[in-house]
Amino acid sequence: MTTTSIQAGLLAYGMSGKVFHAPFLAAHPGFTLRAVTERHQKQAQQDYPGVISYDSVGALLADPKIELIVVNTPSNTHFELAKQALQAEKHVLIEKPLVTSSAEVRELQELSQRMNRHVLAYQNRRWDSDFQSVKQVIDSGQLGQLIEVHFRFDRYKTVLNTKAFKETPIPGSGLVYDLGPHLIDQSICLFGKPLFSRKTTGMFRPGSQVPDYFSFHLHYPNGLQVFLTSSLLVAQPQASFVLHGTQGSFSKARTDVQETQLQQGIAPQNATYGLEAPGQEGILTLASTDGNFTTHSQPAPKGDYMQLFEALYQTIRNGIPYPIKLEEIRWQMELLEQTDDAQ
Protein backbone atom coordinates (compact mmCIF):
# COMPACT_ATOMS: atom_id res chain seq x y z
CA MET A 1 0.00 0.00 0.00
CA THR A 2 1.35 3.42 -0.94
CA THR A 3 1.28 5.99 1.84
CA THR A 4 0.42 9.50 0.74
CA SER A 5 2.97 12.21 1.38
CA ILE A 6 2.57 14.68 4.23
CA GLN A 7 1.38 17.99 2.79
CA ALA A 8 3.26 20.79 4.54
CA GLY A 9 2.84 24.54 4.84
CA LEU A 10 5.40 27.18 5.89
CA LEU A 11 4.16 30.19 7.84
CA ALA A 12 6.97 32.34 6.43
CA TYR A 13 9.34 32.27 3.47
CA GLY A 14 12.23 34.32 4.77
CA MET A 15 15.73 33.01 5.46
CA SER A 16 14.53 30.21 7.74
CA GLY A 17 11.91 28.98 5.30
CA LYS A 18 14.19 29.17 2.27
CA VAL A 19 17.27 27.64 3.91
CA PHE A 20 16.26 25.31 6.72
CA HIS A 21 12.83 23.97 5.77
CA ALA A 22 11.76 24.20 2.13
CA PRO A 23 14.76 22.30 0.66
CA PHE A 24 14.13 19.34 2.94
CA LEU A 25 10.36 19.25 2.62
CA ALA A 26 10.84 19.34 -1.17
CA ALA A 27 13.56 16.66 -1.21
CA HIS A 28 12.18 14.13 1.29
CA PRO A 29 9.89 11.65 -0.51
CA GLY A 30 7.51 11.58 2.44
CA PHE A 31 6.65 15.28 2.24
CA THR A 32 5.14 17.68 -0.26
CA LEU A 33 5.75 21.40 0.16
CA ARG A 34 2.23 22.52 -0.61
CA ALA A 35 2.03 26.14 0.52
CA VAL A 36 3.70 29.12 2.15
CA THR A 37 2.50 32.39 3.63
CA GLU A 38 3.88 35.46 1.83
CA ARG A 39 2.26 38.72 2.85
CA HIS A 40 4.25 40.97 0.55
CA GLN A 41 6.84 39.68 -1.91
CA LYS A 42 5.88 36.50 -3.71
CA GLN A 43 9.12 34.54 -4.16
CA ALA A 44 8.39 30.92 -3.30
CA GLN A 45 7.05 29.96 -6.71
CA GLN A 46 10.34 31.01 -8.31
CA ASP A 47 12.05 28.31 -6.27
CA TYR A 48 9.23 25.78 -6.15
CA PRO A 49 6.85 26.09 -9.12
CA GLY A 50 3.37 25.00 -8.19
CA VAL A 51 3.60 25.87 -4.50
CA ILE A 52 0.61 27.87 -3.25
CA SER A 53 1.38 31.33 -1.84
CA TYR A 54 -1.24 32.43 0.68
CA ASP A 55 -1.60 36.06 1.74
CA SER A 56 -2.30 35.23 5.39
CA VAL A 57 -1.70 32.61 8.04
CA GLY A 58 -5.45 32.15 8.38
CA ALA A 59 -5.81 31.25 4.70
CA LEU A 60 -2.98 28.72 4.92
CA LEU A 61 -4.40 27.12 8.08
CA ALA A 62 -7.78 26.79 6.35
CA ASP A 63 -6.27 24.62 3.60
CA PRO A 64 -7.78 21.16 4.33
CA LYS A 65 -5.00 19.28 2.52
CA ILE A 66 -2.23 20.56 4.77
CA GLU A 67 -1.30 18.19 7.60
CA LEU A 68 1.88 19.83 8.89
CA ILE A 69 2.48 23.48 9.72
CA VAL A 70 6.03 24.81 10.13
CA VAL A 71 6.01 27.71 12.59
CA ASN A 72 9.07 29.70 11.52
CA THR A 73 7.92 33.20 12.39
CA PRO A 74 9.41 35.59 15.04
CA SER A 75 9.94 33.87 18.39
CA ASN A 76 7.31 35.85 20.29
CA THR A 77 4.60 34.63 17.87
CA HIS A 78 5.36 30.90 18.10
CA PHE A 79 2.98 30.10 20.95
CA GLU A 80 -0.17 31.72 19.54
CA LEU A 81 0.43 30.49 15.98
CA ALA A 82 1.13 26.94 17.17
CA LYS A 83 -2.13 27.03 19.13
CA GLN A 84 -4.02 28.16 16.04
CA ALA A 85 -2.45 25.38 13.97
CA LEU A 86 -3.32 22.72 16.54
CA GLN A 87 -6.88 24.01 16.77
CA ALA A 88 -7.03 23.71 12.97
CA GLU A 89 -6.11 20.01 13.48
CA LYS A 90 -2.60 20.29 12.06
CA HIS A 91 0.67 18.85 13.33
CA VAL A 92 3.21 21.58 14.10
CA LEU A 93 6.98 21.78 13.72
CA ILE A 94 8.23 24.84 15.62
CA GLU A 95 11.52 26.68 15.14
CA LYS A 96 13.71 27.42 18.17
CA PRO A 97 12.96 28.70 20.66
CA LEU A 98 9.84 26.54 20.67
CA VAL A 99 8.06 29.15 22.80
CA THR A 100 9.21 31.64 25.44
CA SER A 101 8.34 29.89 28.72
CA SER A 102 7.99 26.45 30.26
CA ALA A 103 4.31 27.20 31.00
CA GLU A 104 3.70 27.66 27.25
CA VAL A 105 5.38 24.30 26.56
CA ARG A 106 3.01 22.59 28.97
CA GLU A 107 -0.03 24.33 27.46
CA LEU A 108 0.89 23.31 23.92
CA GLN A 109 1.55 19.75 25.06
CA GLU A 110 -1.88 19.54 26.70
CA LEU A 111 -3.59 21.02 23.63
CA SER A 112 -1.77 18.64 21.28
CA GLN A 113 -2.98 15.69 23.34
CA ARG A 114 -6.57 16.93 23.21
CA MET A 115 -6.37 17.49 19.46
CA ASN A 116 -4.46 14.22 18.84
CA ARG A 117 -1.77 16.10 16.95
CA HIS A 118 1.99 16.38 17.39
CA VAL A 119 4.01 19.36 18.63
CA LEU A 120 7.58 18.90 17.39
CA ALA A 121 10.68 20.97 18.08
CA TYR A 122 13.08 21.97 15.32
CA GLN A 123 16.47 21.54 17.02
CA ASN A 124 18.46 20.91 13.86
CA ARG A 125 21.94 21.31 15.37
CA ARG A 126 21.74 17.85 16.88
CA TRP A 127 22.66 16.84 13.32
CA ASP A 128 25.59 19.23 12.82
CA SER A 129 28.76 17.39 11.78
CA ASP A 130 30.81 18.96 14.58
CA PHE A 131 28.29 18.01 17.28
CA GLN A 132 27.99 14.49 15.86
CA SER A 133 31.79 14.24 16.14
CA VAL A 134 31.58 15.22 19.82
CA LYS A 135 28.85 12.64 20.37
CA GLN A 136 30.95 9.92 18.71
CA VAL A 137 33.93 10.65 20.95
CA ILE A 138 31.80 10.62 24.11
CA ASP A 139 30.02 7.41 23.10
CA SER A 140 33.37 5.72 22.42
CA GLY A 141 34.35 6.07 26.07
CA GLN A 142 37.91 7.03 25.15
CA LEU A 143 37.89 10.11 27.39
CA GLY A 144 37.01 8.11 30.47
CA GLN A 145 34.82 9.89 33.02
CA LEU A 146 33.98 13.36 31.78
CA ILE A 147 34.97 16.15 34.15
CA GLU A 148 34.59 19.42 32.24
CA VAL A 149 32.79 20.30 28.99
CA HIS A 150 32.68 23.65 27.15
CA PHE A 151 30.35 24.47 24.25
CA ARG A 152 30.59 27.90 22.58
CA PHE A 153 28.69 29.65 19.79
CA ASP A 154 30.39 32.95 18.99
CA ARG A 155 30.11 35.68 16.38
CA TYR A 156 31.35 39.23 15.94
CA LYS A 157 28.49 41.60 15.16
CA THR A 158 28.59 45.07 16.69
CA VAL A 159 25.74 46.43 14.58
CA LEU A 160 22.23 45.84 15.89
CA ASN A 161 20.00 43.52 13.91
CA THR A 162 17.55 45.32 11.61
CA LYS A 163 14.78 42.93 12.72
CA ALA A 164 13.18 44.79 15.61
CA PHE A 165 11.84 41.67 17.32
CA LYS A 166 15.42 40.45 17.83
CA GLU A 167 16.63 43.67 19.48
CA THR A 168 13.57 44.79 21.46
CA PRO A 169 13.22 43.58 25.08
CA ILE A 170 10.18 41.36 24.50
CA PRO A 171 9.70 37.65 25.31
CA GLY A 172 12.04 35.50 23.22
CA SER A 173 14.44 38.24 22.14
CA GLY A 174 18.19 38.56 22.60
CA LEU A 175 21.07 36.14 22.24
CA VAL A 176 19.89 33.95 25.12
CA TYR A 177 16.81 32.90 23.15
CA ASP A 178 18.55 32.98 19.76
CA LEU A 179 21.60 30.75 20.27
CA GLY A 180 20.87 29.56 23.80
CA PRO A 181 18.37 26.91 22.63
CA HIS A 182 21.03 25.33 20.40
CA LEU A 183 23.66 25.01 23.13
CA ILE A 184 21.26 23.95 25.87
CA ASP A 185 19.63 21.36 23.62
CA GLN A 186 23.02 19.88 22.74
CA SER A 187 23.89 19.57 26.43
CA ILE A 188 20.52 18.02 27.28
CA CYS A 189 20.84 15.64 24.31
CA LEU A 190 24.15 14.34 25.68
CA PHE A 191 23.78 14.61 29.44
CA GLY A 192 20.10 15.05 30.29
CA LYS A 193 18.66 17.48 32.82
CA PRO A 194 21.25 19.22 35.02
CA LEU A 195 21.02 19.04 38.79
CA PHE A 196 21.18 22.84 38.98
CA SER A 197 22.58 25.73 36.97
CA ARG A 198 23.73 29.34 37.01
CA LYS A 199 23.09 31.87 34.28
CA THR A 200 24.89 35.12 33.51
CA THR A 201 24.09 37.59 30.72
CA GLY A 202 25.42 40.94 29.56
CA MET A 203 24.81 43.76 27.07
CA PHE A 204 27.94 45.17 25.47
CA ARG A 205 27.11 46.36 21.93
CA PRO A 206 26.48 50.11 21.60
CA GLY A 207 22.77 50.75 22.05
CA SER A 208 21.86 47.14 22.81
CA GLN A 209 18.64 46.62 24.77
CA VAL A 210 18.88 42.82 24.90
CA PRO A 211 21.64 40.43 26.03
CA ASP A 212 24.43 39.88 23.51
CA TYR A 213 26.43 37.65 25.87
CA PHE A 214 25.44 34.70 28.04
CA SER A 215 27.00 31.89 30.00
CA PHE A 216 25.35 28.90 31.65
CA HIS A 217 27.16 26.74 34.19
CA LEU A 218 25.36 23.39 34.41
CA HIS A 219 26.09 20.94 37.24
CA TYR A 220 25.56 17.24 36.53
CA PRO A 221 25.93 14.03 38.58
CA ASN A 222 29.41 12.68 39.34
CA GLY A 223 30.91 16.15 39.34
CA LEU A 224 30.52 16.86 35.61
CA GLN A 225 30.66 20.60 34.90
CA VAL A 226 29.23 21.90 31.62
CA PHE A 227 29.76 25.50 30.46
CA LEU A 228 27.67 26.97 27.64
CA THR A 229 28.78 30.36 26.33
CA SER A 230 27.85 32.67 23.47
CA SER A 231 28.86 36.21 22.54
CA LEU A 232 28.36 38.59 19.64
CA LEU A 233 31.72 40.23 20.36
CA VAL A 234 34.31 37.52 19.76
CA ALA A 235 36.82 38.58 17.13
CA GLN A 236 39.01 35.49 17.49
CA PRO A 237 36.82 32.41 18.04
CA GLN A 238 38.05 29.63 20.30
CA ALA A 239 37.33 25.95 19.82
CA SER A 240 33.56 25.54 20.02
CA PHE A 241 33.67 22.14 21.69
CA VAL A 242 36.20 21.25 24.40
CA LEU A 243 35.91 18.14 26.56
CA HIS A 244 38.19 16.93 29.35
CA GLY A 245 37.95 13.49 30.92
CA THR A 246 40.00 11.27 33.17
CA GLN A 247 41.70 9.64 30.17
CA GLY A 248 42.00 12.44 27.64
CA SER A 249 40.69 15.60 25.97
CA PHE A 250 38.92 16.50 22.74
CA SER A 251 38.60 19.84 20.96
CA LYS A 252 36.67 20.75 17.84
CA ALA A 253 35.91 23.98 16.00
CA ARG A 254 32.43 24.86 14.75
CA THR A 255 32.87 23.43 11.27
CA ASP A 256 29.45 22.26 10.09
CA VAL A 257 28.94 23.42 6.48
CA GLN A 258 25.21 22.81 6.01
CA GLU A 259 23.93 26.35 6.57
CA THR A 260 26.55 27.81 4.22
CA GLN A 261 25.84 25.17 1.57
CA LEU A 262 22.09 25.69 1.77
CA GLN A 263 22.54 29.46 1.40
CA GLN A 264 24.65 28.75 -1.69
CA GLY A 265 21.84 26.68 -3.17
CA ILE A 266 23.49 23.29 -2.65
CA ALA A 267 20.67 20.79 -2.22
CA PRO A 268 20.58 18.18 0.56
CA GLN A 269 20.79 15.41 -2.04
CA ASN A 270 24.10 16.73 -3.43
CA ALA A 271 26.98 14.28 -2.88
CA THR A 272 29.08 16.98 -1.19
CA TYR A 273 26.33 18.12 1.16
CA GLY A 274 27.24 18.06 4.85
CA LEU A 275 30.86 17.00 4.33
CA GLU A 276 33.50 19.00 6.16
CA ALA A 277 36.57 20.15 4.23
CA PRO A 278 39.88 18.36 4.94
CA GLY A 279 41.91 19.92 7.73
CA GLN A 280 38.92 20.64 9.98
CA GLU A 281 39.14 17.44 11.99
CA GLY A 282 38.81 17.46 15.76
CA ILE A 283 41.84 16.80 17.96
CA LEU A 284 41.68 13.83 20.33
CA THR A 285 44.46 13.62 22.93
CA LEU A 286 44.64 10.43 25.01
CA ALA A 287 46.77 9.76 28.08
CA SER A 288 48.34 6.33 28.57
CA THR A 289 48.91 4.65 31.93
CA ASP A 290 52.63 5.47 31.74
CA GLY A 291 51.93 9.20 31.47
CA ASN A 292 52.53 9.60 27.74
CA PHE A 293 50.12 11.33 25.38
CA THR A 294 49.00 10.44 21.87
CA THR A 295 47.17 12.85 19.57
CA HIS A 296 44.74 11.78 16.86
CA SER A 297 42.79 13.62 14.19
CA GLN A 298 39.10 12.84 14.49
CA PRO A 299 37.18 13.15 11.19
CA ALA A 300 33.58 14.23 11.57
CA PRO A 301 30.61 12.29 10.23
CA LYS A 302 28.42 13.86 7.57
CA GLY A 303 26.17 16.63 8.84
CA ASP A 304 22.60 15.85 7.84
CA TYR A 305 19.50 17.85 8.78
CA MET A 306 17.50 15.46 6.63
CA GLN A 307 17.63 13.06 9.58
CA LEU A 308 15.40 15.47 11.51
CA PHE A 309 12.85 15.42 8.70
CA GLU A 310 13.04 11.64 8.49
CA ALA A 311 12.34 11.47 12.23
CA LEU A 312 9.49 13.94 11.72
CA TYR A 313 7.99 11.75 9.00
CA GLN A 314 8.32 8.57 11.06
CA THR A 315 6.61 10.20 14.04
CA ILE A 316 3.64 11.52 12.07
CA ARG A 317 3.12 8.52 9.79
CA ASN A 318 4.29 5.58 11.90
CA GLY A 319 4.07 6.78 15.50
CA ILE A 320 7.79 6.33 16.17
CA PRO A 321 8.81 8.58 19.11
CA TYR A 322 10.41 11.84 18.00
CA PRO A 323 14.00 12.11 19.31
CA ILE A 324 13.53 15.65 20.65
CA LYS A 325 11.15 15.22 23.57
CA LEU A 326 8.88 18.02 24.76
CA GLU A 327 10.06 17.26 28.30
CA GLU A 328 13.58 18.18 27.14
CA ILE A 329 12.27 21.43 25.64
CA ARG A 330 10.55 22.22 28.94
CA TRP A 331 13.89 21.74 30.75
CA GLN A 332 15.46 24.05 28.18
CA MET A 333 12.85 26.72 28.81
CA GLU A 334 13.31 26.46 32.58
CA LEU A 335 17.02 27.18 32.10
CA LEU A 336 16.39 30.06 29.68
CA GLU A 337 13.87 31.77 31.96
CA GLN A 338 15.81 31.43 35.21
CA THR A 339 17.03 34.52 37.04
CA ASP A 340 20.29 36.04 35.84
CA ASP A 341 23.11 35.90 38.41
CA ALA A 342 24.43 39.23 37.12
CA GLN A 343 21.26 41.09 38.03
pLDDT in tens, 251-260: 999 999 999 9
Confidence check: pLDDT of 192 > 70: yes
Mean pLDDT taken over the chain: 96
pLDDT given at position 340? 87
Confidence check: pLDDT of 151 > 70: yes
Q: Which of the four pLDDT bands, split at 50, 70 and 90, describes residue 41?
A: confident
Beta-strand pair 91-94/52-54: unpaired
Please check whether the two domains, 6-122+307-319 and 127-304, share a CATH topology. Answer: no
Structure letter (DSSP) for residue 330: H
User: Phi-psi category of 165—alpha, beta or left, where left has phi over 0 and alpha has psi -120 to 50?
Assistant: alpha
Of the chain, the percentage scoring pLDDT greater than 90 comes to 95
Q: Which of the four pLDDT bands, split at 50, 70 and 90, describes residue 184?
A: very high
Confidence check: pLDDT of 52 > 90: yes
CATH topology of domain 127-304: Dihydrodipicolinate Reductase; domain 2 (3.30.360)
Tell me the H-state helices in 99-252: 102-115, 129-140, 164-167, 175-178, 180-191
Beta-strand pair 31-37/282-287: unpaired
Confidence check: pLDDT of 225 > 90: yes
Please compute the mean of the pLDDT values over residues 135-139 and round it to a whole number: 98
Confidence check: pLDDT of 152 > 80: yes
Distance CA 176, CA 208 (A): 14
Task: Name residues whose C-beta falls within 8 Å of residue 103's C-beta, 6 or more positions apart in sequence.
Answer: none
Closest CA to 152 of 242, 235, 236, 223: 242
pLDDT given at position 342? 55
pLDDT given at position 1? 37
Please compute the mean of the pLDDT values over residues 32-60 and round it to a whole number: 95
**Cis (ω within 30 of 0) for the bond into 97?**
yes
pLDDT given at position 289? 86
* DSSP codes, 98-139: S-SSHHHHHHHHHHHHHHT--EEE--GGGG-HHHHHHHHHHH
Query: Looking at 69-73, 165-169, 301-305, which range is the least confident one?
Result: 165-169
Determine the CATH number of domain 6-122+307-319: 3.40.50.720
pLDDT given at position 82? 98
Distance CA 61, CA 267 (A): 28
